């Protein structure tokens, strides 16, 4: 058995309990919103160590607790595995944190209304002011270009790197026939973006069903909204938190 030849990476040090509590709440919120189902996951970068991140053990997002949160290095090696099962797709998180120093939270979901936009030629575009963050384009990661025939999962650092490359400097990246990733400078923003990517996909599909040309947000409009300094993610975050914490 050679599995312990590589020593585990060192911890990035202690972290405020509230950071891990917010990560757990984010998972519960996204499960309640129908953005995460039995699968999918969200993570945060270690607040005091840029080369580490936190992600729960492989469990459904709705049931995780702070004791399930594990620390990883950016190659997605666990610091202290203690026999816990790890997400196969943890490499999504490590490689995005490597590629994007501005990103401190990542959500990977299979939210259902988004997937049709990953397998058709219809681009996902911002249809309302709440999803201005989709302005400028939503890339679509084609895993076949990176590794031909796969099971579509991001099972290693190579595929994670290819996905991070497709994401580039955008806020959201679709993954063909699989789902999407949404990123942000903090957990509140990443959760907001994941939730409103699903909302936007629903509204856009409804608009397409109504027929006729669709008037999406113009570049001037989404840039004006995104450029505002008064974006209030705190408001939905508090509401979502209350919904998942009240008995
Ligand atoms: Zn996945």
- Per the residue annotation, which of 89, 142, 221, 223 is the catalytic one? 89
How far does the centroid of ligand 1 lie from the alpha carbon of residue 61, in Å? 13
How far does the centroid of ligand 1 lie from the alpha carbon of residue 108, in Å? 7
pLDDT tens, per residue, the chain with 247 residues: 555 567 899 999 999 999 999 999 999 999 999 999 888 999 999 999 999 999 999 999 999 999 999 999 999 999 999 999 999 999 999 999 999 999 999 999 999 999 999 999 999 999 999 999 999 999 999 999 999 999 999 999 999 999 999 999 999 999 999 999 999 999 999 999 999 999 999 999 999 999 999 999 999 999 999 998 777 788 888 899 999 988 7
Q: Copy the structure tokens of residue 176.
A: 């063909």
How far does the centroid of ligand 1 lie from the alpha carbon of residue 27, in Å? 15
How far does the centroid of ligand 1 lie from the alpha carbon of residue 123, in Å? 20
Report pTM. 0.95
Q: How many CB atoms lie within 10 A of CB 156?
A: 16
DSSP assignment string, the chain: --TTSSPPPPP-----HHHHHHHHHHHHHHHHTTSS-SS-EEEEE-TT-TTEEEEE-SS-GGG--GGGEEEEETT--BS--TT----TTTHHHHHHHHH-TT--EEEEE--TTTHHHHHSS------SGGGGGGTT---EE-HHHHHSS--S---SHHHHHHHHHHHTT-SEEEETTTEEEEEESSHHHHHHHHHHHHHHHHHHHHHHHH-S---PPPHHHHHHHHH-TT--THHHHHHHHHHHH--
Q: Rounded CA gap, 125 and 127, in Å?
A: 6
Q: Copy the structure tokens of residue 242.
A: 């209350």
Helices 187-210 and 17-32 sit at what angle, rounded to 10 degrees? Answer: 10
How far does the centroid of ligand 1 lie from the alpha carbon of residue 111, in Å? 10
How far does the centroid of ligand 1 lie from the alpha carbon of residue 221, in Å? 32
Summarize pLDDT for 150-188 with one digit per residue, the tens: 999 999 999 999 999 999 999 999 999 999 999 999 999
Helices 187-210 and 234-245 sit at what angle, rounded to 10 degrees? Answer: 90
What residues does 69 pair with on adjacent strands?
A: 56
How far does the centroid of ligand 1 lie from the alpha carbon of residue 180, in Å? 8
The question of whether 221 is a catalytic residue gets the answer no
Q: How many residues are given for the chain?
A: 247
How far does the centroid of ligand 1 lie from the alpha carbon of residue 6, in Å? 27
How far does the centroid of ligand 1 lie from the alpha carbon of residue 229, in Å? 33
């Amino acid at each position: 058995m050679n599995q312990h030849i590589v020593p585990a990476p060192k911890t990035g040090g202690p972290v405020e309990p509230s950071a891990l509590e917010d990560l757990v709440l984010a998972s519960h919120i996204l499960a309640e919103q129908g953005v995460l189902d039995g699968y999918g996951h969200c993570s945060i970068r270690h607040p005091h160590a840029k080369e580490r991140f936190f992600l729960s053990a492989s469990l459904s997002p709705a049931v995780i607790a702070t004791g399930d949160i594990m620390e990883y290095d950016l190659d997605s090696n666990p610091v202290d595995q203690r026999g816990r099962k790890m997400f196969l797709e943890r490499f999504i998180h490590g490689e995005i944190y490597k590629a994007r120093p501005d990103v401190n939270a990542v959500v990977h979901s299979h939210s259902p209304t988004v997937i049709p936009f990953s397998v058709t030629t219809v681009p996902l575009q911002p249809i309302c002011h709440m999803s201005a963050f989709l302005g400028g384009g939503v890339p679509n990661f084609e895993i076949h270009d990176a590794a031909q025939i796969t099971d579509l999962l991001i099972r290693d650092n190579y595929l994670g790197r290819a996905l991070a490359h497709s994401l580039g400097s955008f806020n959201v990246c679709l993954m063909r026939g699989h789902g999407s990733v949404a990123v942000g400078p903090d957990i509140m923003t990443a959760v907001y973006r994941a939730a409103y990517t699903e909302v936007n996909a629903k509204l856009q599909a409804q608009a397409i069903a109504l027929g006729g040309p669709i008037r999406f947000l113009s570049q001037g409009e989404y840039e004006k909204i995104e450029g505002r300094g008064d974006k209030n993610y705190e408001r939905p975050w508090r509401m979502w938190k209350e919904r998942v914490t009240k008995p």
